Amino acid sequence: MGNLLAAYGLGEALWTVFVIFFLVIFLMILFSIFGDLFRDHEMSGVAKALWVLALILFTPLAALIYLIVRGGGMAKRAQAAQIEAQKEFDDYVKQTAGGSAAEIAKAKELLDAGTISQEEFDSIKAKALG
């Protein structure tokens, strides 16, 4: 075991790190291409299948061609997906927080008017806050 580590020099270690680095970059590119491919609703299923087949059979060349031909659209589709996700999150927060705040405010008005008791207000508030 000691001889094996001694034979594995700095050059081999740096080369291994270099190869792993570019392999990870290449996999990230492929994942982003596949994500973009299936995010695009304008492309037909046949075209998607052909791109997948090309990416499997001729991986480096097909990836390069995809980035050249459809690279600009990738950024637009990614941005649209991010905007949609942010909109859904904002709507969820408004629905969750806004509904609870409105219920509590209405209950407070009823409490101030004397329509409900303090215990009923506390119960409504606890229910609204979860």
Eight-state DSSP code of residue 8: S
pLDDT for position 110:
87
Q: Whose CA is closest to 55, among 47, 46, 63?
A: 63
Q: What is the pLDDT of residues 46-85, one digit of tens each?
A: 999 999 999 999 999 999 999 999 988 898 888 988 999 9
28 φ, ψ (degrees, to nearest 5) = -60, -40
Sign of torsion, CA 10 13 17 23? positive
Domain boundaries, the chain: 2-129
Q: Record the pTM.
A: 0.61
Instruction: Say if residues 43 and 33 touch (Cβ distance below 8 Å).
Output: no
